[in-house]
Structure 1
Amino acid sequence: MIPLQLQSALGLLALAALAWAVGGFRRPLPWRTIATGLALQIILGAALLHIPPLRAAFSVAGRVVDALARATQAGTSLVFGYLGGAPLPFAEARPGGAFILFFQALPIVLLVGAISALLYHWRVLPALVRVMSRALRAAFGVSGACGVSVAANVFTGMVEATLFIRPWLASLSRSELLVVMTAGLATISGNMLVIYAAMLAPAVPDAAGQLLAASLVSAPAAILAARLMLPGETAPESADIEAPRLYDSAMDALTRGTSDGLSLLLNIMAGLIVFVALVALANMIIQPLTGLTLESIAGVLLWPLAIAMGIAPEDATAAARLLGIRGVVNEFVAYLEMAGPAGAELAPRTRLILSWALCGFANFASVGIMVAGMGALCPERRAGIVRLGLPALLAATIACCMTGATVGLLSP
């Protein structure tokens, strides 16, 4: 039996080869692109995991998430009473029975949405995006617009990130359009990162820092997977790209950020209800006929990807099932299960790899959101955006698994 770290290393190469094979075998294997992409992922992951000052930043990120969660609970307790986390007026019949997801966990979206808008207005987020985009442009030779959008996806939502480059969307090559879409699906937004970190805190040490590191590593992974699937021309260089001014004042940013957060909160609630219901309905049809569920089917189909990430064979089926839940439903439900009893049965190494690998919007519902949002921003490219929807989902899934394999390579 090979060491699990070596399994992850071989898996990284296998995942890169899979992305290239999906794009067609007739092209020569672009070893330079593969070497650059994998090296950047490993170096970035090693720095985030093993350099003491950066490791210390993980605990800071964890304290920030905890502070945001406690601050949000103060608001929900006032508005919703014991439904929102205030002391119960009765004895709890079973531990955790009083926890209500919508009233206690999800409202943090409102606070983070307001703070994110404020940081954008103060030009903090655009400055971070600018620094990261330069590094990506130097490493992969993508255009300025493409690099900015990929970098923005680490901190903002997949549709919001394209607002940074709205004037240049029409001029992107087809290859770079796939890069932009893949990056949107392979990363998560800052507000969702905070929610997932709060959910995973009991199951994964330094959950906030781990998810932040995963989102950062997924940026070069997304470019690599998309470039291997669809190589092509780089769009004409767009000079210095300035993030558009979205708000008139700090108060405008706070109010509109809160409003956007409310819209996101309601969309999350509706999406969870509908997609969990659809999966349950599909299982009601499939299970009597075959004895299988969508989750068990995913556990078989995605088992090789779990092995490629360096997960031990005894955990691979359960890990593949969580990957399948993320793809069929969404990452929220996958993380919810991982934070529960099902995750407790997994080895700590498996939980760490999955916390990185599930850190992306790589699911069918997000493809629909992205296609609709980008199509509205750039109507003249709508047909091309629609055609790239499913390839972007596949590339993003491979990129997220590369991210999981990276932490598997770097962890005991």
Structure 2
Amino acid sequence: MQSVLHFILTLFVITLLALLVSYDRRNIRIRYILQLLVIEVSVAWFMLHSEAGLYAVTSVSGFFDQLMKFAAQGSNFVFGNMSQQGMAFVFLNVLCPIIFISALIGILQHFKVLPLIIRLIGTLLSKVNGMGKLESFNAVSSLLLGQSENFIAYKGILSEQSSRRMYTMAATAMSTVSMSIVGAYMSMLEPRYVVVAIILNMFSTFVVLSLINPYHPDDEPEPQLSHLHANQSFFEMLGDYILAGFRVAMIVAAMLIGFIALITAMNAMFSAIFGLSFQELMGYVFYPLAWIIGIPEQDALHAGSIMATKLVSNEFVAMLELQKTAAQFTERGMGILSVFLVSFANFASIGIVAGAIKGVDESQGNVVSRFGFRLVYGATLVSLLSAAVAGLVL
């Protein structure tokens, strides 16, 4: 009963925070929000407690574990078994597998498997979320194709979309994660929490968007959807996706180097001036949010610091920070915080999403840039809601 009351308090706080930046409070449709929450809580319980759900989560985790082993063969061939010697762990075990998984996504895309999955799941989602098919399809394609590559699939129709619909599309891309890096997350977090977070984020995104950006799909004309059908040979496509995976890996590597160096410098500067590191101070700022989503009080201050690290840098930096101190957390605190970390909700994502859209349609990219802060704000609420739902059933 106490956990249920705490969850109700969490819903109240998240709703209040969402309403502060809502575009149109009068058009919020409560029925769809309640419907999505019931489904989300049910899915979380099913995946974390029922035998069938645990089997499904374990199977997905095992599948990605096997993919990581295949990817390691390529890394070992090029880098001479350095990973087996414990050298360059992040580069070889976290970043390099992105290249292999990107290639697999390209193969599924080439043989039209992904468009079929996107349409099937997107159509089912559109039945329960009260939004249009485009928004629902976009949520699935963002997950399967990736935050940047996703908008190429909609290049023929982006120019026709209103700013409200563009906000929804950009927000779903920022609130989910790309399947190409799920294996990387699983090397740093307990795999079952990664799988659960991916599913919960999809529902949480629609709940938060229904509060921040409510509109009736009938008011937004449904475009003819045209997913990416590249006229390439199989090996042209494969080369493109392998190189795309390599670019993603290098971008993540550059961001890790830059952000970790900056955070280290800021920690030293704040320690010299205030006697507390930057991350310790941010822990106090995020402490209430950590507690409100159900993280135990003894974990909340440290968790708040890691949550802040994710927001100001990215989820990889935060996951690496959590890895170093995982033994200090309770099992419940570790699970809730892990779910919170699995998303692209950080300030760096504003540039990534806006840049990806601008590459397809410059004017719409500028539109997205203008509501960049509201995007990060909303995506952070999505992460808080998903973590709170996980906390309710853990």
**Fold in common (TM above 0.5):** yes
Paired position in structure 2 for 1:139: 128
CA distance in 2, matches of 1:392, 1:141: 20
Deviation at 1:362, TM superposition (A): 0.8
Match of 1:72, as an amino acid? A
1:171 aligns with 2:160: yes
1:256 aligns with 2:255: no
Q: Deviations over 1:32-55 (max 9, x none)?
A: 343133223223323333443332
Which residue number corresponds to residue 373 of structure 1? 356
Q: What are the Cα deviations for residues 140-180 of structure 1, in whole angstroms up to 9, with x where unaligned?
A: 33222222111212223112222232222223333322221
Q: Is 2:71 aligned against 1:72?
A: yes
1:12-411 equivalences under 5 Å are 12-23=11-22, 27=26, 30-85=29-84, 88=85, 98-200=87-189, 204=190, 207=191, 209-232=192-215, 234=217, 236-238=220-222, 241-246=225-230, 248-340=232-324, 342-411=325-394
Name whichever of 284-293 and 28-37 sits farther off: 28-37
**Contact preservation (8 Å) 2:171, 2:379:** yes
AA aligned opposite 1:43: S
Shift of 1:135: 2.5
Distance in 1 between the 2:197 and 2:246 partners?
26
Alpha-carbon contact 2:25-2:214 (below 8 Å) kept: no
Where does the alignment leave 5 or more consecutive residues of structure 2 unmatched?
none
For 1:92, the equivalent position in structure 2 comes to none
Unaligned runs of 5+ in 1: 89-95
CA distance in 1, matches of 2:279, 2:2: 28
CA distance in 1, matches of 2:187, 2:272: 37
Q: How far apart are 1:371 and its partner, in Å? A: 1.1
Question: Partner amino acid for 1:258?
Answer: I
Question: Aligned-pair distance for 1:30?
Answer: 4.8
CA apart distance, 1:380: 2.2
TM (norm. structure 1) is 0.88
Deviation per CA, 1:338-376, whole angstroms, max 9, x where unpaired?
Answer: 223x11111111111112111101111111111111122
Aligned with 2:149: secondary structure?
helix
> Residue 344 of structure 2: SS of its match in structure 1?
coil
Q: Is the 8 A contact 2:142 2:178 kept in 1?
A: yes
How many angstroms apart in 1 are the aligned matches of 2:2 and 2:79?
51
Is residue 47–residue 56 contact of structure 2 (8 Å, CA) maintained in 1? no
How many residue pairs get aligned? The number is 393
Secondary structure in structure 1 of the residue aligned to 2:157 = helix
Q: Is the 8 A contact 1:6 1:409 kept in 2?
A: no
Instruction: Return 12-21 or 42-51, whichever deviates more.
Output: 42-51
- Structure 1 residues 242, 51: closer, same or farther in 2, change over 3 A? farther
More helix by share: 2
Q: Which amino acid aligns with 1:388?
A: F
Native 8 Å contact 1:226 1:392 kept in 2: no
Q: 1:259 to 1:24 in 2, by over 3 A?
A: closer
Distance 1:70 1:239, change over 3 A: same
Give the superposed CA RMSD.
2.3
Whole-Å separation in 1 of the counterparts to 2:260 and 2:230: 35
Instruction: Return the TM-score normalized by structure 2.
Output: 0.92
1:28 Cα deviation after fit:
7.8
Question: Per the alignment, do residues 173 and 51 of structure 1 end up closer, same or farther by CA in structure 2, a change over 3 Å counting?
Answer: farther
CA deviations over 1:301-347 (Å, ceiling 9, x no partner): 2222212211111111111111111111110111122223x111111
CA distance in 1, matches of 2:226, 2:56: 28
Residue 16 of structure 1 contacts residue 34 of structure 1 at CA under 8 Å; is this kept in 2? no
Aligned counterparts of 2:223 and 2:5: Cα–Cα separation in 1: 42
The AA in structure 1 aligned to 2:43 is: L
Report the residue type matching 1:210 in the other structure: Y
Q: Deviations over 1:104-132 (max 9, x none)?
A: 43210111111111111122222221122
